[in-house]
Structure 1
Amino acid sequence: MNDERDRDEEGRARSARPRDGLGRPLPYGAAGVERQPEGGVRGPGETVREAQRLLDAGMPFHAHEVFEDAWKSGPEVERDLWRGLAQLAVGLTHAARGNSSGGARLLRRGAAWIDGYEDRLPYGIGLEELSVWARELSARLDAPDGVRVDAAQEAPRLLGG
């Protein structure tokens, strides 16, 4: 890999820079948060447990990567579900980074993706609660006075109760 440009042999971007808990690049050589291995294949239960652990730790960017793996490796019929969950996590990431408008937009988009699964409770995921959480947080982000978002404090519960 060409470390200067963070590209692999085929020229695809492969960021080797360390990242913080919100996925922001840090200077080379800095201590960062360990990244999720790209392309990991987990079962649905393991995906939900790992993503929840990362959300609870205030690392929604990393939870997004876990959901993205499920979206790319899971069955076609579930891709919109995992895509929606990934967008909820990255929406929280943007909100915690201070990008209120981008965070709100991604939260609404993620909620729209998972709304197609409302009549089911796949893998125990509380989709209705997640959709409500996403829309309420996006409304707070859209408010004129804005809101400071702490990713760990705002982390949603994935499993329905």
Structure 2
Amino acid sequence: MGDTGAGARDRDTEGRARSARPRDGLGRPLPYGAPGVERQPEGVVRTPEQTVVEAQALLDAGKPFHAHEVFEDAWKSGPEDERTLWRGLAQLAVGLTHSARGNVPGGARLLRRGAGAVEEWAAGSGVRRPYGMDVGGLAGWARELAGRVEDGAVGIEAAAEAPRLRGAP
């Protein structure tokens, strides 16, 4: 990555701005040189099955920020008619991220926005369990968590609150 001196911006190998700072499990930047969580590579094309499995593992590990990046890859590389689904799932993961960071308005808003997106996609497509995922259960989980966050739930633990993408194990 590029120079980290005053005024310089980190760049990836293709010259795009990309922070080289390590991040914690919730995606918060840490000081240069601090140990962090390995970042998800960007632009990876996965099958829907790989996306669901990888995102679930990250959610279970308390890394919803990183799960959002996996969903974002599916949203950007998948079929046009599935983009609302994957974008909604990314919003759910970011909503959990913000809730765990203590950002009440942002967390609740993104959880509800993601719930609406996955339900909109399911209604429009007629598919209730895409790739085995429980869309209705995810929307209910998101709205319930958004309500608890707004009601003052503190110390939201990302791993403990992680949704089951495919319902109960």
Q: TM (normalized to structure 1)?
A: 0.94
Give 1:11 deviation, angstroms. Answer: 6.0
Q: TM (normalized to structure 2)?
A: 0.89
Label 1:155 to 1:9 Cα distance change in 2 as closer, same or farther (>3 A): closer
Give the distance between the partners of 2:107 and 2:47, measured in 1 at CA: 28
DSSP 3-state at the match of 2:115? helix
RMSD: 1.5
Q: What amino acid does structure 2 have at the position aligned with 1:141?
A: V
Q: Percent identity?
A: 71
| Residues 1:134 and 2:142 are matched in the alignment | yes
Give 1:159 deviation, angstroms. Answer: 0.7
Matching residue of 1:124? 132
Q: How does 1:12-161 map to 2 (within 5 A)?
A: 12-116=16-120, 117-118=122-123, 119-120=126-127, 121-143=129-151, 145-160=152-167
Give 1:7 deviation, angstroms. Answer: 3.1
DSSP 3-state at the match of 1:152? helix
Q: What amino acid does structure 1 have at the position aligned with 2:139?
A: S
List alignment gaps of at least 5 residues for structure 1. none
Give 1:2 deviation, angstroms. Answer: 2.9
Contact 1:91/1:106 (<8 A) preserved = yes
Contact 1:3/1:16 (<8 A) preserved = no
Q: What amino acid does structure 1 have at the position aligned with 2:156?
A: V
Give 1:10 deviation, angstroms. Answer: 7.2
Q: What amino acid does structure 1 have at the position aligned with 2:32?
A: Y
Give the distance between the partners of 1:46 and 1:149, measured in 2 at CA: 27
List alignment gaps of at least 5 residues for structure 2. none
